[in-house]
Amino acid sequence: MRFVRWKAGVVAASAAGILASGVALAPAANADAFRCGSSGSDPRAWCAYVQKAPNGLKVRVKPSTSADIVYTLANGAKVEVDCWTTGTSVNGYNIWARLYSASGTRYVSDYYLTTGRIQSYVPHC
């Protein structure tokens, strides 16, 4: 029992030290896009997660908030991004991601994805 308390104390002290040093571990939902690997259509494709989308993220046929909605993705859903383009501004951000879809072209506002600066590594459509 004494060993368990000591180990818990070390873990708590280590966590406090990391936070005090200014190093913070970001939650997975705030991370940049990542290679899809074997879970994507192409191992080199980029994947990201939906985050902070009120009532889910609307998937549209064009990069516009007035375009038809095909379906809605829940926060935390993983998506495969083919490329990026510009479209209607969402909260002052006009970058949209084209999703990989065998059933046609689909777009989502990049504002609600964990892509970081998508223009730095994903090709323009």
Q: What is the pLDDT of residues 50-77, one digit of tens each?
A: 999 999 999 999 999 999 999 999 999 9
Report pLDDT for 85.
Answer: 97
- Output the pTM of the full model: 0.71
pLDDT for res 31? 57
The DSSP line for 27-63 is: PGGGSPPEE-GGGSSSTT-EEEEB-S-TT-EEEESSS
Q: For residue 76, report the phi and psi dihedrals to the nearest 5 degrees.
A: 95, -10
Residues in the chain with pLDDT values less than 50: 1-30
Question: What pLDDT does 89 receive?
Answer: 97
